[in-house]
Structure 1
């Protein structure tokens, strides 16, 4: 039995990210940095409010509020983790994508 293999080679367009392609990139980086700061501040506020709800719910015997407070703590902590690691996460997956091929 004869098995034929067909190999299709894709042409590399030679395009890579650069810092001088579009005007205003420095302003865009400042805006995204400010959004990261706002996001972290929102996570801190969410964490504080969630801990208060958790404590008051526990103290008052309201298990629904206690559960919601615990959920808010986890969501706030997870949001802070993702925001804080945003650069590393994007760099990691960008590196994986660059290794394809």
Structure 2
């Protein structure tokens, strides 16, 4: 054990101290799952609308569907990466 480890106590979140922390994790996991499923469905719907709009020559529809596709992809990336980001922050906080 090094001197810095002995002098600095390990500080980290105590999830067991909060009543219902397990229920909270379950709820957050379910919300992330629903959000990711909805984002993927929106990607499919917007991609199909973009393809149909382009094929029929409806450029305003194709343009709005393309924008919707990019927004849905961004949402899917943010939702998918949020759990990994939170775990990374918790591991960084525990090591400080």
Per the TM superposition, whether the score is higher than 0.5 is: yes
Higher helix share: 2
CA distance in 2, matches of 1:28, 1:98: 21
Higher relative CO (CA 8 A, sep ≥ 6), structure 1 or 2? 2
CA positional deviation for 1:64: 0.8
The range that moved more, 69-78 or 33-42, is: 69-78
Within the candidate set 22, 25, 29, 2:21 is matched to 25
Q: CA deviation at 1:37?
A: 0.6
- Residue pair 2:12, 2:94 contacting (<8 A) in 1 also: no
Equivalenced residue count is 88
**What corresponds to 2:76 in structure 1?**
80
CA distance in 1, matches of 2:93, 2:12: 12
RMSD: 2.2
Q: Deviations over 1:41-81 (max 9, x none)?
A: 10111011101210111011111111111111111111111
SS of the aligned residue for 2:69 comes to: helix
TM-score with structure 2 setting the length: 0.75
